[in-house]
Amino acid sequence: MAERPAKVSFGFIDYTPTQKGMFGDNVVAEMTEHTTVFPNPDVPLPTLTDINNALKQKTQQALSGDKVKIQERDATEKEWDSYFRKEGEYVQRIANGSKLIIAQSGYHSTDTESHPVAIPAQPQINAWANKGKGSGIHVEMKPLADCRGFQFIVSSQNILSYMNIKGDSIKFNGPLDVFIDVKLTTKRKVDFQDLNSGQTYFITALGFNASGVGEMANVIEVVAP
- pLDDT confidence tier of residue 134, bands split at 50, 70 and 90: low
Buried b (16+ CB within 10 A) or exposed e, 111-149: eeeeeeeebbeebebebebbeeeebbbbbebeebebbbb
66 Cβ contact partners less than 8 Å away, ≥ 6 residues apart: none
Nearest to 113 by CA among 209, 214, 1, 5: 209
pLDDT at residue 87 greater than cutoff 50: yes
- pLDDT confidence tier of residue 114, bands split at 50, 70 and 90: very low
CA 167 vs. chain centroid, Å, equals 16
User: Which 3 state secondary structure label does DSSP give 137?
Assistant: strand
CA 67 vs. chain centroid, Å, equals 23
| CATH class for the domain made up of 125-223 | mainly beta
User: Which 3 state secondary structure label does DSSP give 174?
Assistant: coil
Distances 221 to 144, 163, 197, 214, 218 between C-alpha atoms, Å: 22, 17, 14, 21, 10
User: Which 3 state secondary structure label does DSSP give 19?
Assistant: helix
pLDDT at residue 116 greater than cutoff 60: no
* pLDDT for the residue numbered 1: 37
pLDDT at residue 166 greater than cutoff 60: no
AA letter at 14: D
* pLDDT for the residue numbered 4: 65
Mean pLDDT of the chain: 85
Nearest to 24 by CA among 51, 44, 62, 6: 51
* pLDDT for the residue numbered 169: 53
Please name the residue ranges forming H helices in 63-187. 67-95, 99-105
Distances 13 to 47, 64, 139, 198 between C-alpha atoms, Å: 18, 24, 30, 43
In tens, the pLDDT along 171-214 reads 666 666 677 888 877 778 889 988 999 999 999 998 887 677 78
Query: What is the 8-class DSSP label of residue 9?
Result: -
Please name the residue ranges forming H helices in the chain. 17-33, 45-62, 67-95, 99-105
Distances 215 to 102, 108, 164 between C-alpha atoms, Å: 30, 24, 10
* Phi, psi (degrees; rounded to nearest 5) at 146: 65, 30
In tens, the pLDDT along 89-112 reads 999 999 998 888 888 898 888 754
Q: Which residue has the higher pLDDT, 180 or 49?
A: 49
